[in-house]
A = this chain, B = another copy of it.
Amino acid sequence: MKDIYPASPEWRVSRWFNSEAPLSLGALRGKVVMVSAFQMLCPGCVSESLPQALRVREAFSEGDLAVVGLHTVFEHHEAMTPTSLAAFLHEYRITIPVGVDEANPAGPIPLTMQAYAMRGTPTTLLFDRSGRLRRNVFGHIPDLRLAADIMALVGETNLSGGSATTNESAVCTPEDCSDQTT
């Protein structure tokens, strides 16, 4: 069968938390990989997508699925430094590995966010067992939908596609955060 998905670029991470060694997409080949891209001051990330990432970590086997956080800071850079992030991860009991998306010398959007064309936070990425990006969803995904998408990739033996769905409530874009869950 012809390979219809393009190879995905590696993520670019300047620092890792909750991981003894750097993680790479290449080294996770063979597992499905979920990346939860967030900002520590994005309300929808704090109330919804990060708790969901922790639930996903509990619900699926580590042998089938890797769950990785990515701190994609594209605004208030001086307020969301690695020092602040470290305190945030500690206080919110975020125990999954979290990488800091590498700063872009040319602008506010960090390199991985730019490479994967993320529109804001929260964004959830799903990579198949071959390391190819198969879902790129901006905004909240219901648990039922996310689990179904993960399982479809976990169960894949041949390579068939899918399309990304988006729910743009409680999100942050480079323009603004909207529909905060206060």
Query: Using a CB-CB cutoff of 8 Å, which residues 59-92 of chain A contact chain B?
Result: 59-60, 76, 78-80, 83-84, 86-88, 90-92
Could you say which of A21-29, A104-112, A144-152 contacts chain B? A144-152
Name A182's contact: one of B78, B92, B151 (CB within 8 Å): B92
Q: Give the complex CA separation of A147 and B41 in angstroms.
A: 29
Judge whether B79 and A84 touch: CB under 8 Å.
yes
A47 CA to B79 CA in the complex, in Å?
Answer: 20
Q: Is the interface of A mostly helix, strand, loop or mixed?
A: helix
Please, how many angstroms separate the alpha-carbon atoms of A80 and B65 in the complex? 34
Residues of B within 8 A of A2 (CB): none
Copies of this chain per assembly:
4
Q: Determine whether the beta carbon of B80 is less than 8 Å from that of A87.
A: yes
| B92 and A87 form a contact (CB under 8 A) | no
> Are A144 and B86 in contact, with the CB atoms below 8 A?
no
Nearest-neighbor residue (CB-CB) of A90 within chain B: B76
Nearest residue, chain B, Cβ from A85:
B79
Q: State whether the Cβ of A42 lies closer than 8 Å to any Cβ in chain B.
A: yes
Partner of A147, one of B79, B83, B92, B151: B151
A35 at the B interface (CB under 8 A) = no
Known: A59-B144, A59-B145, A83-B79. A41 touches B182 (CB 8 A): no
Using a CB–CB cutoff of 8 Å, the interface residues on chain A facing chain B are 41-43, 46-47, 50-51, 54-56, 59-60, 76, 78-80, 83-84, 86-88, 90-93, 142-148, 150-152, 155, 172, 177, 180, 182
The 10 closest A-B pairs by CB, nearest first: A151-B151, A147-B147, A79-B87, A143-B143, A76-B87, A155-B155, A79-B84, A59-B144, A144-B147, A51-B182
Pull 22 A–B residue pairs with CB atoms less than 8 Å apart, ordered by A.
Answer: A41-B91, A41-B92, A43-B91, A43-B92, A51-B182, A55-B142, A59-B145, A76-B87, A76-B91, A78-B83, A79-B84, A92-B180, A93-B182, A142-B143, A143-B143, A143-B147, A144-B144, A144-B146, A144-B147, A146-B147, A147-B151, A152-B155
